Amino acid sequence: QVQLVQSGAEVKKPGASVKVSCKASGYTFTGYYMHWVRQAPGQGLEWMGRINPNSGGTNYAQKFQGRVTMTRDTSISTAYMELSRLRSDDTAVYYCARENPYSPGFDYWGQGTLVTVSS
Amino acid sequence: QSALTQPASVSGSPGQSITISCTGTSSDVGSYNLVSWYQQHPGKAPKLMIYEGSKRPSGVSNRFSGSKSGNTASLTISGLQAEDEADYYCCSYAGSSTFYVFGTGTKVTVL
């Protein structure tokens, strides 16, 4: 069965960076785009970007350009999202989500990783 | 790119039908048949309910249906049940510059 398992909660100081991992299993990792979506406390979903695990190609939301880097390690079927120059308003739950090209939508999601930015 | 506009809340009694709207622009909802809908219970990850505007993934109840007219997509829940109480988000592809945009979210309450 398809599973996306994310790394644990993080607490960071303003200005620092955070790197969240998303380990995929139960399917061919390189066959499906991986997206990152975040949700601030009590707020809605926000699309951050995506990575093509096959090529490593990325697309980022304009809001995060220059601060976000998405990478992958195909040998361990894991995607990563690194966000730099953290601010307090980056406090959120960060999700990875698989895009199904055959039924376009985010069909599997990780459990979420809470990133808290506080001095 | 602004978020797609959804009503903040919608409510209904058990057994009733409700509809959630998702209004975008000609650059997103109006241009692509790539609207998806997600259900999110408190503290849980979102769940895909509808893709390509009106298609249901395997395992999703046929009480959920989607449609689109112009720049507005809609999600209808028929035969409302207590377990349908959750937040619902639409999402649309918005072209090769913006890529994806989510809706503002709608809280569904079962009275």
Out of B45, B48, B99, the one facing A111 most closely (by C-beta) is B45
Q: Between A and B, how many residue pairs show a Cβ–Cβ distance under 8 A?
A: 67
- In this predicted structure, the answer to whether residue A53 has a pLDDT above a threshold of 80 is yes
pLDDT at position A102 is 86
Average pLDDT, chain B: 96
What letter does residue A9 receive in the DSSP assignment?
Answer: P
Q: Is the dihedral of CA A90, A13, A64, A99 positive or negative?
A: negative
Q: How many CB atoms lie within 10 A of CB B87?
A: 20
Question: Does the CB of A104 have a partner CB in chain B at under 8 Å?
Answer: yes
Q: Check CB contact under 8 Å for A37 and B102.
A: yes
Lowest mean pLDDT among A71-80, A98-107, B48-57: A98-107
Question: Does the CB of A110 have a partner CB in chain B at under 8 Å?
Answer: yes
- In this predicted structure, the answer to whether residue B1 has a pLDDT above a threshold of 80 is no
pLDDT at position B87 is 98
Contacts of A46 in chain B (CB under 8 A): 102
Percent of chain B with pLDDT over 90: 95
pLDDT per residue as tens digits for the range A1-16 = 999 999 999 999 999 9
- In this predicted structure, the answer to whether residue A38 has a pLDDT above a threshold of 90 is yes
Which two tokens mark A6? 């994310």
Question: Does the CB of A16 have a partner CB in chain B at under 8 Å?
Answer: no
Q: Which residue of A has its CA nearest to B45?
A: A111
Percent of chain A with pLDDT over 90: 96
Cβ(A107)–Cβ(A46) under 8 Å?
no
pLDDT per residue as tens digits for the range B2-45 = 899 999 999 999 999 999 999 999 999 999 999 999 999 999 99
Question: Which residue in the block uniquely carries the two structure tokens 């797609």?
Answer: B4
Average pLDDT, chain A: 97
Q: Check CB contact under 8 Å for A61 and B36.
A: no
Q: Check CB contact under 8 Å for B38 and A45.
A: yes
What φ, ψ does residue B80 adopt, rounded to 5°? -50, 135
Question: Does the CB of B100 have a partner CB in chain A at under 8 Å?
Answer: yes
How far apart, in Å, are the Cα atoms of B107 and each of A119, B81, B90?
Answer: 33, 14, 12
Question: If DSSP codes are grouped into helix, strand and coil, which group holds residue B9?
Answer: strand
pLDDT at position A101 is 86
